């Protein structure tokens, strides 16, 4: 139980610090902290596979990408210094009201930790974790994702394709004057002809 | 055929109005006169059928307004009262048409004149033949309109403009009363149909039918009758709303003859006679009518004795005779009143038309003091004028005698306060009537000449087209009274069949015929001879006593008082007209129309919306975090408003928004 | 167990395959030195158009009467989806027809734009037939992602980059809210399928303070907010003017036309089929009123064409939401009619905007004296503007009339009243177009080159339809009635 609160508090604080940090690199590092704490929460929920995937994908790929970009953009620390206090009153009040309403709702302790309870008002749905016993997370995931829910899987793959195309469309220079590396030509250079004696 | 009577003048008017350019002046005259003459021939036939053969005719043509409870149809009702008036209106109208052919022959706008004359005739016919209040009101308003058009015929003349507007406005006041009366009728009787109303009138005359006003209950039928009578006051120029009649002499003389002698001014009398079943059940209204009629006749007669314009004298004489008719109705003798109406039409039209002949002969000179000695120059006209005047003052056995004297005897035998009041005032006006009639004759025809030589040298008697109507009317003035007396006001006549209703307790004809003391019966004769002597001595014979009387201060003041019509005009102008004008300009124009309504309306809205548009388009600041903030704000508001609506709806009221919007409009300006 | 589903999904499968083949074709040939790096945009464009038309054929041929739940209840095909998909594909085809000439003018050689447009079309097909919260979310994400990219695709213009960036950030925000809502619904009910949700919610009262239903309430609200962002309703519309103005014009055209159809179709299914409750009705009331008012007012102060069209589309969404918030069958039918006519008018307007772009058409005042230089185009634009303003007997009036009629029929008098008032206000700036065309003289006279044949065909068809719709509206009415019925039963 106490671990839950530890992870939650750390995650919230790191999240706040992501916004508040002046140095962008610090922001990214705090973001990594958020991911780590979230993956800890997932472990607490009993989803081992997801926690690992969180670490691998989010921290290993996404946060590293962020770091690369932040370090390539030469952001001076003074540039992003702004007067936060100007927005504090109104924004703070709206945020507080919002959070209050969320808490009003969340106060009902109805988020099921494990979907094993069957209540009379609910229709029955398949509880996989109960029927098929002692399958690991990974096996469960594989059994479902590629058979029953393959459609969602394919659509997600299309999303990734779009991301790929988008990156290329937005950033790649395709004009003929751009110098580009062509590995085959590089490998097929005839060394004898690279240097000529003129005089 | 009955419908033709009503429609023919309309057709003539259309032809004249829209095709006058093609038909030309002569053609228009021929067309309209033919139409109206045909109409008069048909109305003679109708008179024979309906009145003499006692078969009234009810025609329902088409529905007009049908809305649940309130329905008014186009319908015509021809009964004895109607056909008498039809006869009067159409015959006088056709005679006036013939007269105008020659009177307006040099006027380039004569097609328009004939068009207006015919449309007036049409509306008057609609008025008298209507079988419900709405159709009567249509005719009522129509004759008001036609009279405006006709008085304002020479519209480039400022005096004519003013007179026409005055006539219209004062008529409007009367119409307002009439409209209120019709609405009151509808409230009580749930219908505006004459047949229904008159049949039910007795049932509603109980005191427990009343109107509530300012926490006081008024007897319903009395209120209706008084309101309707206000309409009659306006139209028939009774005291209070009379100021338009003398000024209406700005129109051409045929107009005066038609409208102000024979037809329009008698519309009020007709309406009271038509609504006799209603009036009979409210004695208070009858008393009011009697008083007003008597006062009018006295007032008009006293004013007429010192007027200088030829036509104005005759106009005041009309006003006075109308007072007679009205108080004759007030003493519940509607038949006598209508009889007097018919007679009066004859001799008043004769008087006006011959006055027109005089004016035409004197090259449009209208002031009596500048005429004189025309008896030898215009013998025919003089003869006509004399006949008309004698008939007017009630010379024995001419037309006027049969109706005027009966009215005075009836007033006496009513034996009530109002009846006595009317009798004495009526008798005094007989004196004044004779005085001014003879004054007119003396000053115009018999006195030594006062006119310019060039007028006299061009003076010519009436041409044949103007003479024919005069001759016909002269015959009428002499014989009609005797011929129709027994039919219309004789004892026990059933001429009126169902059209006039008199309560049995109000029947006094027999009493007046046989029980009046002889001295009372002779009073009118005595007064009229007295009046003629006074007129002779004052105006004809040169008398130093009279001269001194005239030039003294008392005489001066008396002259001014009577000449300025008892200062009615000045009182009205200063107290009523001025304050209304100021209100209209300051309050309703400046403060309301250009002020509040503009701000709540076009100007305010366009200004506010433009301002709002600019301000709203500034919300797009361009900063992403602003956008995100607005989204979050929206989300929060939705959650709170929709989720917590039960708590919030206690504090929020829809009507607050309305106040906010209106104040927003006003603040921005 | 899914063998039969592939037959029903054949149009989408075809479209995806065509897209991928075009992508490969484009990549291979445009970087080949042998063919001297040809610019393949128009080529790919025509081929893409062809594939869309074939997809239309495939959808139409598939039997429209069969109702099928596919892919383990993730997708559904019925009358509603049938007509919606055909309509969507037709509008996409017309948009692509419009944009072919644009590429030549702007020398925009990125053929990937066409590929992305095709991919987003495919995602919209999925969105229309989505039957599960997760499928819906994935389809929305696919579409949005394509749009983020093509909004920023004009790389030498700062405007375009800024537009793409703003769209991306705010879109991510709203997708987050949408997903949060979906997850809350799942958390409190345990199902994500629309049909199951519909069965759960019949007769279920949802308030903020109820024991179980508070979460459901929040979930519905968040989902609604996410959707409202996508169709640019107030107060979630702030991205629309900047993004519409900054993107390349064909992208703006596509934004105005296609997503509205698919997202409104999806919203219809989610809200009317699954969550039929007065909770979200107040929300849509308020959004509709606010959209109408803001669309009418803010557009009056605009000087630039694309921004004005953005605000006018916000206003129109307000009108469409009137039909939505009624919740009756007439409301839905009027919404569908409204979308149809709105798409027609928008296609028309953007075709004209693209046609006039050759010299200069950034500000409204550039339209001056169009009546003298190009009278037929002026008449066309006048007809369209009058139709937007809602002047009888053109098509726009019919759609607005039917929307207000539905609102009055279900007792939403305030909506109809505000709708009429804002219609009147918006008349001002629509007719200002006509006034500028006919009565203003620009400072420098602009000569317009004649437009290409595809756009002129498109203009002719749409103008004809707008003008003569009132003579024979019954096919549209029948079709939409059938769609509405099949949604509600």
CB-nearest partner of C301 from B613, B633, B634: B613
Choose between B71 and C259: higher pLDDT: C259
Residue among A136, A171, A177, A148 nearest A48 (CA): A136
**Is B633 at the interface with chain C, CB within 8 A?**
yes
Looking at mean pLDDT, say which of A79-93, B156-170, B442-456, B640-654 comes out highest.
B156-170
Name every residue whose Cβ is closer than 8 Å to that of residue A64 and which is 6 or more positions away in sequence. none
Residue in the block written with tokens 């749009």 = C147
Instruction: Give, as one character, the DSSP assignment of residue B75.
Output: E
* Cα distance between residue B436 and residue B417, in whole Å: 29
Task: Mark which residues 93-132 of A lie under 8 Å from C by CB.
Answer: 101-102, 104-106, 108, 110-112, 115, 121-123, 125
Q: Does residue B41 surpass a pLDDT of 60?
A: yes
Out of B57-61, C166-170, C318-322, C364-368, which region has the weakest mean confidence (pLDDT)?
A: C364-368
Is the pLDDT higher at A167 or at C110? A167
**Per-residue pLDDT for A176 more than 70?**
no
Percentage of chain C beyond pLDDT 70 is 92
* Mean pLDDT in residue range C208-223: 73
Contacts of B156 (CB under 8 A, 6+ apart): none
The residues pairing with B344 across neighbouring beta strands, listed in sequence order, are none
Whole-number pLDDT of residue A32: 94
Residue-wise pLDDT for B206-228, tens only, equals: 777 777 777 777 788 888 899 99
Find all residues with CB under 8 Å of A159, minimum gap 6, and list them.
Answer: C138, C141, C142, C145
Handedness of CA B410, B412, B417, B419 (dihedral sign): positive
Q: Which residue has the higher pLDDT, A131 or C152?
A: C152
Q: Residues B484-503: what's their mean pLDDT? A: 83
Is the pLDDT assigned to residue C21 strictly greater than 90? yes
Assembly ipTM = 0.86
- Residue A88, chain B, CB below 8 Å: the answer is no
pLDDT of residue C336: 93
**Residue B567 zone, left/alpha/beta (φ > 0; ψ -120 to 50; rest):** left
Burial of B348 (0-12, 13-18, 19+ CB in 10 A): buried
Residue A98 has pLDDT above 70, yes or no: yes
Query: Model-level pTM?
Result: 0.67
Predicted local confidence at residue B74, as pLDDT: 87
Which residue has tokens 């790919």?
A: C44
Cβ–Cβ gap A122/C72 under 8 Å: no
Instruction: Mark out the alpha helices in C231-360 (DSSP H runs).
Output: 239-246, 249-267, 278-300, 305-326, 329-355
Kind and range of the H or E run holding C204: none
Q: pLDDT value at position A111? A: 47
Most confident among A141-150, B659-668, C50-59 (mean pLDDT): C50-59
Element containing residue C181 per DSSP (H, E): helix C158-189
Distance CA C362, CA C157 (A): 15
In Å, what is the CA distance from C366 to each residue of B490, C300, C356, C380, C444?
Answer: 93, 17, 10, 17, 9
Euclidean distance between CA atoms C85 and C10, whole angstroms: 13
Q: Do B613 and C297 touch (CB under 8 A)?
A: yes
Q: What does the pLDDT average to over C28-43?
A: 76
pLDDT of residue C209: 54
Q: What is the pLDDT of residue B228?
A: 92
pLDDT in tens, B264-293: 677 888 999 999 888 888 888 999 999 999
Structure token pair of residue B115? 């068009």
The domain spans of chain B are 329-540, 628-668
Q: What is the domain partition of chain C in residue ranges?
A: 277-281+292-489
Mean pLDDT of chain C: 86
User: Could you say which DSSP state residue B593 is in?
Assistant: I
Report helix, strand or coil for C404.
Answer: helix
Q: Which of A111, A123, A152 sits opposite C199 (nearest CB)?
A: A123
- For C308, C322, C350, C435, the CA distances from C391, given in Å and listed in that order, are 19, 19, 20, 16
Largest distance between two CA atoms of chain A? 97
B244 and B256 Cβ atoms separated by less than 8 Å: no
Residue A115 is predicted with a pLDDT of 44
Decide: residue B567, CB within 10 A, 0-12 exposed, 13-18 middle, 19+ buried. exposed
The pair of structure tokens assigned to B81 is: 């009262």
Is residue B351 within 8 Å of residue B392, measured between CB atoms? yes
Token pair for B634: 């929206």
Rounded Cα–Cα distance for residues B244 and B163 (Å): 7
- Mean pLDDT, residues B507-525: 82
From the CA atom positions of chain B, what is the Rg in Å?
31
Q: How far is CA B224 from the centre of its chain?
A: 19
Which pLDDT belongs to residue A121? 53
Interface test with C, best of A165, A178, A181 (most C CBs within 10 A): A165
Q: Nearest-CA neighbor of B528 among B612, B661, B430?
A: B430
Tokens 């309209």 -> residue:
B32
What 3-state class would DSSP assign to B191? coil
The residues, any chain, with a CB within 8 Å of residue B86's CB and separated by 6 or more, are B5, B43, B46, B47, B78, B125, B128, B129
Q: Over the range C57-82, which residues count as b (16 or more CB within 10 Å of their CB) and which as e?
A: ebbeebebeeebbbbbbbbbbbbbbb
User: Does residue C35 belong to the interface with chain A, where contact is any CB pair within 8 Å?
Assistant: no
Which of C71, C116, C164 is closest, CB to CB, to A162? Answer: C116
Q: What pLDDT is recorded for position C66?
A: 63
Lowest mean pLDDT among B500-504, C343-347, C463-467: B500-504
DSSP result, C350-403: HHHHHHGGGT--SBGGGGTTHHHH-HHHHHHHHHHHHHHHT-TTSHHHHHHHHH
Q: Where is C421: in which H helix or E strand?
A: helix C413-439
Please indicate whether residue A178 or residue C104 has the higher confidence score (pLDDT): C104
**CA-to-CA distance for B124 and B5, rounded, in angstroms?**
11
Nearest-CA distance A199 → chain C (Å): 34
Mind listing the pLDDT tens digit for each residue in B104-156? 888 888 889 999 999 999 999 999 998 889 999 999 999 989 989 999 898 88
For testing contact with chain C, the best of A105, A106, A184 (most C CBs within 10 A)? A105
The answer to whether B624 contacts C286, with C-beta atoms less than 8 Å apart, is: no
pLDDT of res. B533: 87
- C-beta of residue C215 within 8 angstroms of C-beta of residue C184: yes
Does position A129 have pLDDT exceeding 70, yes or no? no
Q: Is the pLDDT of residue C263 over 50?
A: yes
**Number of Cβ atoms within 10 Å of the Cβ of B645:** 14
Six-digit token string for C77: 């095909």
Residue % of chain C over a pLDDT of 90: 35
> Among A102, A125, A151, whose Cβ lies nearest the Cβ of C190?
A125
Listed residue (B338, B179, B221) closest to B272, CA to CA: B338
Q: Does B63 sit behind a cis peptide bond, omega within 30 degrees of 0 on the bond before it?
A: no
CB-based contacts of A55, cutoff 8 Å, min separation 6: A35, A36, A39
Distance of CA B471 to the CA centre of its chain: 27
Residue C153: list chain A partners with CB under 8 A: 169-170
Beta bridge partners of B57: B78
Tens digit of each residue's pLDDT (9 = 90 or more) over B362-403: 877 778 888 877 888 888 889 999 999 999 988 888 888 888
Q: What is the mean pLDDT of residues C48-73?
A: 77
Q: Taking residues A127-147, report their average pLDDT.
A: 74
**Percent of chain B with pLDDT strictly greater than 90:** 20
The residues that bridge with A44 in the sheet, in sequence order, are none
Tokens of A144: 């479902």
The residue of chain B nearest to residue C221, with distances taken between CA atoms, is B639
Comparing alpha-carbon positions, the chain A residue that sits nearest to C153 is A170
- Specify the DSSP class assigned to residue C50: H
Residue B238: pLDDT over 60: yes
Residue B370: per-residue pLDDT: 81
Q: What is the reported pLDDT for A80? A: 53
* Mean per-residue pLDDT, A156-177: 84
Mean pLDDT of C464-474: 89
């Amino acid at each position: 139980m106490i671990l839950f609160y530890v992870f939650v508090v750390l995650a919230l604080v790191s999240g706040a610090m992501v916004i508040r940090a002046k140095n962008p690199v610090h922001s990214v590092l705090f973001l990594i902290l958020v991911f780590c704490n979230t993956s800890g929460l997932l472990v607490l929920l009993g989803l081992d596979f997801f926690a690992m995937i969180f670490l691998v994908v989010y921290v290993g790929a996404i946060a590293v990408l962020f770091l690369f970009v932040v370090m390539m953009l030469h952001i001076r620390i003074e540039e992003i210094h702004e007067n936060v206090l100007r927005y504090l009153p109104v924004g703070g009040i709206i945020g507080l009201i919002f959070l209050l309403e969320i808490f009003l709702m969340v106060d009902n302790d109805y988020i099921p930790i494990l979907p094993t309870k069957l209540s009379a008002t609910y229709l029955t749905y398949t509880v996989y974790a109960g029927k098929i016993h002692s399958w690991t997370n990974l096996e469960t995931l594989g059994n479902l994702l590629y058979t029953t829910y393959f459609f969602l899987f394919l659509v997600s793959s299309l999303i990734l394709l779009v991301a790929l195309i988008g990156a290329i469309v937005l950033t790649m220079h395709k004009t003929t004057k751009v110098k580009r590396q062509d590995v085959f030509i590089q490998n097929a250079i005839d060394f004898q002809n690279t240097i000529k004696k003129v005089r | 055929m009955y419908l033709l009577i009503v429609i023919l003048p309309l057709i003539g008017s259309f032809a004249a109005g829209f095709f006058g350019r093609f038909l030309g002046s002569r053609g228009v005259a021929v067309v309209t006169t033919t139409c109206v003459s045909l109409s008069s021939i048909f109305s003679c036939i109708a008179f024979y059928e309906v009145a003499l053969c006692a078969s009234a005719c009810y025609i329902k043509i088409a529905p007009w307004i049908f809305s649940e409870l309130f329905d008014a149809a186009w319908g015509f009702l021809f009964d004895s009262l109607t056909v008498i008036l039809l006869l009067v209106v159409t015959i006088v109208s056709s005679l006036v048409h013939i007269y105008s052919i020659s009177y307006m022959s040099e006027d380039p706008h004569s097609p328009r004149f004939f068009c207006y004359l015919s449309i007036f005739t049409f509306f008057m016919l609609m008025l008298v033949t209507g079988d419900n209040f709405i159709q009567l009101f249509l005719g009522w308003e129509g004759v008001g309109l036609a009279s405006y058009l006709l008085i304002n015929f020479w519209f480039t003349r400022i005096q004519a403009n003013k007179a026409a507007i005055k006539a219209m406005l004062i008529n409007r006041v009367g119409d307002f009363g009439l409209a209120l009366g019709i609405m009151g009728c509808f409230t009580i009787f749930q219908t505006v149909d004459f047949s229904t109303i008159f049949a039910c009138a007795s049932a509603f005359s109980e005191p427990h039918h009343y109107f509530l006003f300012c926490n006081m209950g008024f007897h319903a039928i009395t209120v209706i009758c008084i309101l309707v009578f206000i309409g009659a006051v306006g139209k028939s120029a009774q005291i209070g709303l009379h100021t338009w009649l003398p000024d209406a002499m700005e129109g051409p003389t045929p107009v005066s003859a038609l409208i102000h002698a024979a037809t329009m001014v008698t519309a009020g009398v007709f309406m009271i006679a038509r609504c006799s079943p209603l009036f009979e059940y409210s004695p208070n209204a009858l008393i009011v009518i009697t008083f007003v009629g008597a006062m009018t006749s006295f007032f008009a007669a006293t004013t007429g004795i010192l007027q200088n314009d030829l036509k104005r004298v005759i106009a005041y004489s009309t006003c006075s005779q109308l007072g007679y008719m009205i108080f004759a109705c007030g003493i519940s003798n509607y038949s006598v009143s209508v009889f007097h109406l018919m007679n009066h039409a004859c001799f008043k039209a004769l008087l006006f038309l011959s006055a027109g002949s005089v004016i035409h002969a004197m090259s449009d000179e209208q002031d009596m003091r500048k005429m004189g000695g025309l008896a030898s120059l215009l013998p025919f006209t003089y003869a006509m004028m004399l006949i008309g005047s004698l008939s007017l003052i009630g010379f024995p056995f001419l037309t006027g005698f049969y109706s005027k004297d009966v009215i005075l005897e009836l007033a006496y035998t009513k034996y009530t306060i109002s009846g006595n009041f009317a009798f004495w005032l009526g008798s005094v006006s007989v004196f004044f009537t004779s005085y001014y009639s003879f004054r007119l004759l003396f000053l115009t025809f018999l006195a030594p000449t006062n006119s310019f030589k060039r007028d006299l040298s061009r003076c010519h008697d009436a041409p044949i087209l103007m003479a024919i109507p005069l001759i016909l009317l002269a015959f009428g003035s002499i014989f009609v009274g005797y011929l129709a007396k027994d039919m219309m006001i004789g004892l026990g006549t059933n001429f009126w069949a169902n059209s006039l209703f008199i309560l049995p307790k109000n029947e006094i004809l027999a009493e007046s015929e046989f029980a009046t003391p002889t001295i009372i019966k002779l009073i009118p004769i005595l007064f009229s001879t007295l009046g003629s002597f006074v007129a002779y001595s004052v105006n004809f014979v040169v008398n130093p006593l009279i001269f001194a009387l005239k030039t003294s201060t008392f005489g001066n003041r008396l002259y001014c008082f009577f000449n300025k019509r008892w200062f009615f005009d000045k009182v009205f102008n200063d107290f009523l007209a001025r304050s209304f004008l100021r209100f209209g300009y300051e309050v309703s124009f400046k403060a309301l129309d250009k002020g509040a309504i503009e701000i709540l309306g076009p100007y305010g809205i366009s200004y506010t919306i433009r301002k709002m548009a600019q301000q709203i388009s500034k919300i797009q600041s361009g900063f992403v975090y602003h956008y995100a903030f607005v989204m979050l704000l929206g989300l929060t508001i939705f959650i709170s408003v929709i989720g917590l609506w039960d708590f919030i709806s206690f504090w929020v009221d829809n009507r607050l928004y309305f106040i906010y919007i209106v104040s927003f409009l006003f603040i921005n300006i | 167990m899914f063998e039969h589903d592939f037959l029903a999904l054949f149009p989408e499968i075809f479209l995806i395959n065509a897209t991928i083949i075009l992508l490969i074709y484009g990549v291979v040939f445009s970087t080949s030195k042998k063919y001297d790096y040809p610019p393949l945009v128009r080529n790919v464009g025509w081929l893409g158009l062809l594939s869309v038309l074939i997809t239309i054929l495939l959808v139409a041929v598939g039997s429209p009467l069969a109702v099928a739940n596919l892919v383990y209840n993730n997708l559904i095909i019925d009358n509603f989806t049938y007509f919606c998909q055909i309509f969507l594909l037709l509008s996409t085809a017309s948009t692509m027809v419009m944009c072919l000439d644009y590429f030549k003018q702007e020398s925009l050689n990125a053929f990937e734009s066409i590929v992305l447009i095709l991919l987003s079309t495919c995602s919209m097909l999925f969105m229309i037939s989505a039957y599960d919260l997760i499928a819906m979310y994935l389809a929305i994400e696919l579409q949005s992602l394509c749009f983020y990219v093509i909004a920023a695709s004009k790389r030498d213009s700062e405007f375009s980059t800024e537009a793409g960036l703003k769209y991306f950030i705010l879109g991510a925000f709203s997708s987050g809210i949408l997903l949060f809502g979906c997850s809350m619904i799942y958390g409190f009910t345990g199902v994500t399928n629309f049909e199951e949700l519909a069965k759960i919610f019949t007769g279920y009262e949802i308030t903020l303070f109820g024991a179980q239903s508070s979460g459901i309430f929040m979930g519905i609200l968040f989902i609604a907010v996410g959707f409202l962002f996508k169709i640019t309703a107030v107060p979630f519309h702030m991205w629309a003017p900047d993004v519409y103005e900054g993107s390349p014009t064909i992208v703006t055209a596509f934004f105005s036309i296609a997503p509205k159809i698919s997202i409104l179709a999806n919203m219809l299914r989610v809200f009317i089929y699954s969550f039929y409750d007065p909770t979200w009705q107040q929300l849509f009331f308020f959004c509709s009123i606010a959209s109408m008012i803001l669309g009418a007012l803010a557009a009056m102060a605009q000087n630039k064409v694309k921004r004005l069209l953005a605000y006018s589309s916000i206003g129109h969404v307000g009108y469409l939401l009137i039909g939505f918030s009624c919740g009756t069958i007439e409301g839905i039918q009027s919404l569908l009619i409204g979308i149809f006519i709105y798409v027609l008018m928008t296609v028309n307007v953007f075709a004209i905007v693209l046609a006039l772009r050759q010299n200069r058409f950034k500000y409204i005042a550039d339209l001056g004296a169009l009546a003298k230089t190009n009278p037929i185009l002026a008449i066309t634009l006048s007809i369209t503007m009058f139709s937007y303003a809602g002047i009888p007997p053109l098509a726009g009036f019919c759609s607005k009339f039917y929307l207000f009629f539905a609102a009055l029929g279900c007792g939403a008098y305030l909506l109809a009243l505000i709708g009429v008032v804002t219609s009147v206000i918006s008349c001002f700036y629509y007719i200002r177009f006509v006034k500028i065309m006919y009565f203003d003289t620009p400072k420098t006279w602009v000569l317009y080159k004649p437009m290409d044949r595809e756009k002129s065909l498109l203009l002719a068809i749409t103008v004809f339809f707008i003008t003569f719709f009132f003579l024979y509206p019954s096919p549209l009415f029948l079709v939409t009635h059938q769609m509405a019925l099949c949604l509600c039963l």
